């Protein structure tokens, strides 16, 4: 008769959460299997491979968990109950707060794990790039919505505005890892949003003093 094997002696969701924090702190390549197994309850190598098949498969699960929990704040860019400007500002401020909290690794897993990958791990870079591309798409939709509803003029260079706000968003990771506090990053968002106000004024229709 077939062997049934021993039941897993760990909680899978908790194990993935523990792995997520390690990958977030050290990146995919620098996180060793020994570190992962220890953080996941000192599970054996056999239990690890039986549950997750490979380090890469576990990383994919960890990325999915990050997106559905901490990374969920990016959904703010898609909030159509707000004006496009308010949705953009909320997304930036919430991201700044999350990335600077001390209850978990600083910065953004989707950004930092890509920086730490060697060329041999291009498939990991591609995975993370795809996830960042999704958020970039939400930012683009937010700006397109602003043009469609008249918040921004039709002449708006949408690609340029996307680049402006996404570059700031991704740069938060480096600032957070360097110890820049939330208050400083949050304060910088205020003048950044003033750029939106400047863009909202159609050239040629300003009053003449």
Tens of pLDDT along 185-205?
A: 999 999 999 999 999 886 533
- The DSSP letter of residue 40 is T
CA 62 centroid distance within chain:
13
Q: What is the pLDDT of residues 134-180, one digit of tens each?
A: 999 999 999 999 999 999 999 999 999 999 999 999 999 999 999 99
The residue among 60, 59, 69 whose CA lies nearest residue 26 is: 59
- 110 closest CA partner among 153, 63, 143: 63
d(CA 195, CA 176): 23
Measured over the CA atoms of residue 158, residue 160, residue 165 and residue 169, the dihedral's sign is: positive
Within 10 angstroms of residue 165's Cβ, the number of other Cβ atoms is: 24
Query: Cβ of 102: how many Cβ atoms within 10 Å?
Result: 6
Tokens of 193: 């949003």
């Amino acid at each position: 008769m077939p062997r049934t094997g021993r039941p897993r002696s760990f909680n899978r969701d908790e194990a993935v959460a523990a792995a997520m924090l390690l990958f977030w702190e050290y990146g995919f390549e620098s996180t060793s299997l020994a570190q992962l197994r220890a953080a996941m309850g000192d599970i054996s190598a056999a239990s690890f491979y039986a549950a997750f098949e490979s380090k890469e498969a576990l990383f994919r699960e960890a990325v999915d968990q990050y997106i559905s929990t901490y990374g969920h704040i990016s959904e703010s860019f898609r909030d159509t109950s707000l004006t496009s400007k308010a949705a953009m500002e909320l997304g930036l401020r919430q991201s700044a707060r999350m990335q600077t909290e001390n209850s978990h690794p600083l910065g953004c897993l989707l950004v930092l794990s890509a920086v730490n990958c060697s060329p041999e791990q291009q498939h990991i870079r591609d995975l993370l790039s795809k996830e960042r591309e999704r958020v970039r798409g939400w930012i683009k939709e937010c700006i397109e919505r602003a043009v469609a509803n008249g918040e921004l003029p039709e002449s708006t260079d949408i690609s340029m505005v996307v680049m402006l706000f996404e570059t700031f968003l991704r740069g938060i990771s480096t600032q957070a890892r360097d110890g820049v506090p939330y208050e400083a990053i949050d304060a910088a968002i205020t003048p950044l949003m003033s750029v939106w106000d400047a863009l909202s004024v159609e050239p040629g229709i300003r009053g003449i003093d």
